[in-house]
Chain A
Amino acid sequence: MKNLLISTAFLVGAFAAAPALAGDVLDDILSKDQLICLVNPNSPGFSVPDSEGIYQGFNTDFCRMAAAAILGDAGKADIRGIGFSDSMKTLVADGAHMASRSITATGTRDADPGLAFVATTFYDGQGFMVPKSLGVTSAADLNGATVCAEDGSTTLLNIADWFGDRGIEYRVENIADKTARLEAFFSGKCDVYASDVTALLSDRLLSEKPEAYTILPEVISAEPLTLVTQPDQALEAAVFWAFQVMINADQFGVTSKNVDSIVADLENQPKAVRRLFAEDSATAEMADKLGLPKDWAYRVIAQVGSYSEVFERHLGKETPFGIELKETANALTRDGGQMYAYPIR
């Protein structure tokens, strides 16, 4: 009995000590009053500098989301464009706090001690685009086809796996430069163009006749594109739940445009919405525990918007990419997608 008491006391002590240790990256963000977030320097729609040199795009908005949640001001995100392997090294070496650059979460990557995969912001998968004139309706009919794909990417490995399993013969046309690769496909030098489905959707628009091309139904890989932070339980919780606030906002129809009127009239809102924004709400309790601004959930929605707003702003119907959110895996679960609103309570 005494032994049990001692070990319980030890456990409690350990738990009490843990948060102080676990929160040092978050503390660093708070003390510097700046959140350094790494993005891809040139990924149209996801992160690319505007005319004033400020990064804009889908991925960039999750840097701003984290800054709004942690520092209360989306503008305090110091967004830097760095190549893929450099950004991983910079994160591990404590040169940045997080990265939002379409990184596929994989087991071996997550097993690395220096990185934490936090929240999947985009569900993608590899697919095939073919000219309609080819008369192919399934990737299984592609025997003997020439495939254009990026050299050295996981794209080629996935194709080798998928075609190899089915005994399909194919030839690969390796072209490193994306513009040249697309040109080769549009001019008929290769029969099939392989890439992530969302990339195919936007690449198709670069053709002079987008309607002449179709994307085959097979999606041969899972690409959960995920936010990465330095390992720090408190920071991971803040980023993950900030993202969940954006998904919950979609679930309950809250956007940056109506959030002010909703907060002004909380009495008449559903309980789940009150829990997001009220002063004695679940989010306020989380703010106390993590050291965030009390109204962080409101700030995320007011300054960045809900998930679908961010999607529509950078990739949706009104943009050159013209992706219909409801047709992708990134719709809410109730619309047939995979974005599942976790309970905030």
Chain B
Amino acid sequence: MTGGAMNRLVPFFREAFATPLAGVLSLLACALTGVLAMGAFKWLVLTAVWPWQAAGACKDLAGFCWPFLIEKTRFILFGTYPYALHYRPALVCLILCVFAVVTCRHLVAAAPLLSARQLAASWIAVIVASFVLMGGGIFGLEPVDPVRWNGLPILLILSIVAVALAFPLGVFLSLARVQSSYPLLARFAAAYVEIARGVPMLTVLFVGIFVLPLMLPEGVGISPVLATLVALVFFHAAYFAEDVRGGLLGLPKGQDEAAKSLGMTYWQSTRLVVLPQALRRSLPSLVNSIIGAYKDTSLVVVVGIHDLTATARMSFGDPAWRDNAVEAYALVAIWFFVSCAFLSGIGRTLHRNTVS
């Protein structure tokens, strides 16, 4: 065990101190990390107020107020969702996270757990289950108004579900744009993608919240959550379409021609030959877009949806805890750091796989 670690450490040090310049830079980086780590340690541990101490102690000490997180974490996660029913949003978060991880593993694993078809089918089930669990009203679940869908579940629904729905739409748009049999469809796809990418996300969100309800037939209402989801799906689809189009254009023309010469129809060649290769090529940039989409989701605060960042703000709006903004934001930052680090890790693995 130790030998294995040593075997990896020795080349690492050899690389870090290969030249005098590299050595100086390595030492500087170490010193900087050390200073930051000491600061963090002092803040989080040495001067911190321990979880079991009384909350009043937070006023006197400059460090991290752990009692705040004990008191408010549940609120930051689920917001104003009825307290007794918190198991429902918790379940939604769990299944969305699990399926997001399963899907990511699917992309990088040699022998995936589920086939592509099973994966697509389970996503439909997951999305339906999320809305049923959050909203209730059937199967004897108590109905909960979308106004009370706050915190982490709404962030996950608006990011993961939006990405899951935008992906097939993006693939369709990219295929429509590169084919030449239906020029009108290609033009339409191109115009759609360019318009969606030329408009800021805030504008799209406002259109979703204020204009979309006007376009629906009379008497049909749409909740702000659903309207925002629709807006996000249409927005992200344009970016995914460009990523996939990059993969399609990078594919040698011979692939498609060979498939056709074997007598395959357009759909057969697309499904069996072209798309699998194009998607594999575009995966690194797709992951990039997905991380961007995920982080941008916090913008929904401006249209009155209380996602994780908004509930964090409310948590220190409570007059008894008004000094604890940093702790609340730290919790949100850690969540985003962990989830984005996971996605970047997947992105790196994909990149390695594509290169090798």
Residues of A in contact with B (beta carbons under 8 Å apart):
41-45, 48-56, 78, 80-83, 86, 179, 314, 319-321
A80 interface neighbour in B75, B83, B147, B322, Cβ under 8 Å: B147
CA of A50 to CA of B224, assembled, Å: 24
CA of A56 to CA of B315, assembled, Å: 12
Which residue on A lies nearest to B80, using beta carbons? A53
Q: Mark B48-82, 1 if CB is under 8 A from A, else 0.
A: 00000000000000000000000110110011111
A43 interface neighbour in B74, B79, B224, B317, Cβ under 8 Å: B317
A49 interface neighbour in B75, B147, B325, Cβ under 8 Å: B75
CA of A214 to CA of B75, assembled, Å: 36
Chain B's interface size range is 20 to 34
For residue B325, which residues in chain A have a CB less than 8 angstroms away from its CB? 179
User: What are 19 A-to-B residue pairs whose CB atoms are below 8 Å?
Assistant: A41-B304, A42-B310, A42-B313, A44-B317, A44-B322, A48-B318, A49-B75, A49-B318, A50-B318, A51-B74, A51-B318, A52-B83, A56-B318, A80-B80, A80-B145, A80-B147, A86-B304, A314-B319, A320-B319
Which residue on B lies nearest to A319, using beta carbons? B319
Taking A49-B314, A54-B80 as given, write out 13 further A-B residue pairs in contact, using a Cβ cutoff of 8 Å, ordered by the A residue number: A42-B313, A44-B317, A48-B317, A48-B318, A49-B80, A53-B79, A80-B145, A80-B148, A81-B147, A83-B304, A86-B224, A86-B304, A320-B320
Q: Is the interface of A mostly helix, strand, loop or mixed?
A: loop
Q: With A44-B317, A80-B148 known to touch, is A51 a contact of B75 (CB < 8 Å)?
A: yes
CA of A3 to CA of B304, assembled, Å: 58
B83–A49 touching, CB < 8 Å: no
CA of A82 to CA of B306, assembled, Å: 9
Least CB distance, B15 to chain A, in whole angstroms = 44
A82 interface neighbour in B150, B304, B314, Cβ under 8 Å: B304
Which residue on A lies nearest to B145, using beta carbons? A80
Least CB distance, B285 to chain A, in whole angstroms = 34
CA of A86 to CA of B310, assembled, Å: 17
B319 interface neighbour in A53, A78, A82, A321, Cβ under 8 Å: A321
**9 A-B pairs with the lowest CB-CB distances in the bound complex, closest first:** A48-B317, A53-B80, A83-B304, A52-B83, A42-B317, A80-B147, A44-B317, A42-B314, A320-B319
B75–A52 touching, CB < 8 Å: yes
Least CB distance, A94 to chain B, in whole angstroms = 11
For residue B75, which residues in chain A have a CB less than 8 angstroms away from its CB? 49-53
B72–A51 touching, CB < 8 Å: yes
Least CB distance, B56 to chain A, in whole angstroms = 13
Which residue on A lies nearest to B302, using beta carbons? A83
For residue B317, which residues in chain A have a CB less than 8 angstroms away from its CB? 42-44, 48
Least CB distance, A202 to chain B, in whole angstroms = 9
B306 interface neighbour in A41, A54, A86, Cβ under 8 Å: A41
CA of A81 to CA of B290, assembled, Å: 30
CA of A51 to CA of B86, assembled, Å: 13
Least CB distance, B283 to chain A, in whole angstroms = 38
A53–B78 touching, CB < 8 Å: yes
For residue B318, which residues in chain A have a CB less than 8 angstroms away from its CB? 44, 48-51, 56
CA of A216 to CA of B306, assembled, Å: 37
B304–A53 touching, CB < 8 Å: no
For residue A86, which residues in chain B have a CB less than 8 angstroms away from its CB? 224, 304
A81–B306 touching, CB < 8 Å: yes
For residue A49, which residues in chain B have a CB less than 8 angstroms away from its CB? 75, 79-80, 314, 318
Which residue on B lies nearest to A96, using beta carbons? B147
For residue A43, which residues in chain B have a CB less than 8 angstroms away from its CB? 317
Q: Mark B317-352, 1 if CB is under 8 A from A, else 0.
A: 111101001000000000000000000000000000
CA of A296 to CA of B310, assembled, Å: 37
Which residue on A lies nearest to B79, using beta carbons? A53
Which residue on A lies nearest to B209, using beta carbons? A86
CA of A82 to CA of B325, assembled, Å: 22
For residue B306, which residues in chain A have a CB less than 8 angstroms away from its CB? 41, 81
Q: Mark B288-322, 1 if CB is under 8 A from A, else 0.
A: 00000000000000001010001001100111101
Q: With A53-B83, A86-B304 known to touch, is A41 a contact of B145 (CB < 8 Å)?
A: no
CA of A43 to CA of B318, assembled, Å: 9
Which residue on A lies nearest to B313, using beta carbons? A42
For residue B81, which residues in chain A have a CB less than 8 angstroms away from its CB? 53
Q: With A42-B314, A83-B304 known to touch, is A51 a contact of B319 (CB < 8 Å)?
A: no
For residue A42, which residues in chain B have a CB less than 8 angstroms away from its CB? 310, 313-314, 317
CA of A53 to CA of B318, assembled, Å: 11
For residue A50, which residues in chain B have a CB less than 8 angstroms away from its CB? 75, 318
Q: Mark B79-112, 1 if CB is under 8 A from A, else 0.
A: 1111100000000000000000000000000000
Which residue on A lies nearest to B314, using beta carbons? A42
CA of A71 to CA of B313, assembled, Å: 33
CA of A149 to CA of B74, assembled, Å: 34
For residue A52, which residues in chain B have a CB less than 8 angstroms away from its CB? 75, 83
Which residue on B lies nearest to A90, using beta carbons? B147
A48–B147 touching, CB < 8 Å: no
For residue B147, which residues in chain A have a CB less than 8 angstroms away from its CB? 80-82
For residue A179, which residues in chain B have a CB less than 8 angstroms away from its CB? 325
CA of A55 to CA of B319, assembled, Å: 12
CA of A297 to CA of B31, assembled, Å: 69
